[in-house]
Amino acid sequence: MRDFSLNLPVNSVSFGQVSVALLREFHARGLQPSIFPIGDSIDLACQDTVGEDFQKWIQSCIAKRLEEHNRSNPVFKLWHLNGSLDSYSKDQILLTFYELDSPTKTELNIAKNNTRLAFSSSSSKTLFEENGIDNAKLIPLGFDKSNFQVKKQDYLKGKIVFNLTGKLEKRKNHKQVIQAWIKKYGNNKDYVLQCAISNPFLKNEDFSRLISEILEEKTYFNVNFLGAMQKNSLYNDYLNSSNIIIGMSGGDGWGLPEFQSVALGKHSIILNASGYKEWANEDNSTLIKPNGKREVYDGIFFHKGQSFNQGNTFTFDEEEFIDGCEKAIKKVKNNPVNVKGLELQEKFSYSKTVDSIIELIEEI
């Protein structure tokens, strides 16, 4: 195989988790790419299964970058569109996640200036093609078997447990989901809602204020808000603790927590839109049709008139969401294990993701 380099973040957030999964696969294949870590440092603290050989391999690949990298070698980059005009190579393959519906001139120009542009969802790929981009490819993500495994949890035995994930923000539709859920199940001892929606980009007081607004300053004994989980093993426990995962984000490039949960055999309620559509279907999920769109701007993470992140996200009907909850509850009572969901572990793997990346590297 020809020489190539990698430019990606190695940390505990979503991009970093994908990066580490990809690096594990490159390492397993005995490849020796130069690695340019975004942020110029690595953080593997959240990983519970980092072997000494893997760590040495990463350090070796980082150390060689300035001595051996050649700009004629292609670079595979995993990053936001914002920040991806820069490249260590004349041939860059960019894998990114797009979650809105109105690519800006800046975003389209960055897309055109990458030799290959890859998305994890068909909807994003199609959207950019409709806007004149002819170098777009599809590269689905995979199940992270190094960090996530089926694990029996009994501490909430006898209750139907719902999990809600993702950083708290308007785009994720958290407010609508929580308010709809508590209208139906709030203070009902048979049901629990566990919200792992902490957002490191919000101050603690701002996060608390937003939660208080969502709950309308009321308390519910069966709604729990969990803090950030520093280890993937703890997050694995959290995902395994539920019966049903809620995935109602109005725009998502894939939906990693929801995907991992369904692949662990959890039942789900999933908005049939954006990146979710790449893996969620009628066999493995309870699908909810979007009922429209709304502007994404929240004055915090999304600002109207900027060069990036403009447009709308999908919305849903509250009654249809609750109907989906009821259908998912029936599925749990019929069989606690989502058998079709477990099949995602084999259908989507990081081995297949790396195969797709290597194919693009070889064709340049």
pLDDT tens digits, one per residue of 96-144: 999 999 999 999 999 999 999 999 999 999 999 999 999 999 999 999 9
Distance of alpha carbon 357 from alpha carbon 76, whole angstroms: 8
Claim to verify: residue 190 and residue 313 sit in the same structural domain: yes
Confidence of residue 48 (pLDDT cuts 50, 70, 90): confident
Are both 223 and 283 inside the same structural domain?
yes
Cβ–Cβ under 8 Å, residues 49 and 147: yes
Residue-wise pLDDT tens digits, 318-337: 999 999 999 999 999 999 99
Answer whether residue 150 is part of any domain: no
Which 8-state DSSP code applies to residue 232? H
Task: Return the ∠ at Cα 206 (arms to 205 and 212), rounded to 5°.
Answer: 90
Within a domain: 154: no
Determine, yes or no, domain membership for 325: yes
The enclosing H or E element of 141 equals none
- On whether both 129 and 227 belong to a single domain, the answer is no
The tens digit of pLDDT for each residue in 254-290 reads 999 999 999 999 999 999 999 999 999 999 999 999 9
Are residues 109 and 167 located together in one domain of the fold?
no
Q: Based on the structure, what is the number of domains in the chain?
A: 2
Helix (H, G, I), strand (E, B) or coil at 68: helix
- Indicate whether 149 belongs to any domain: no
User: pLDDT by residue (tens digit) across 143-157?
Assistant: 999 999 999 877 788
Q: Does pTM surpass 0.85?
A: yes
Question: Domain of 51?
Answer: 5-142+349-363
Average pLDDT, the chain: 97
In a domain, 155, yes or no: no
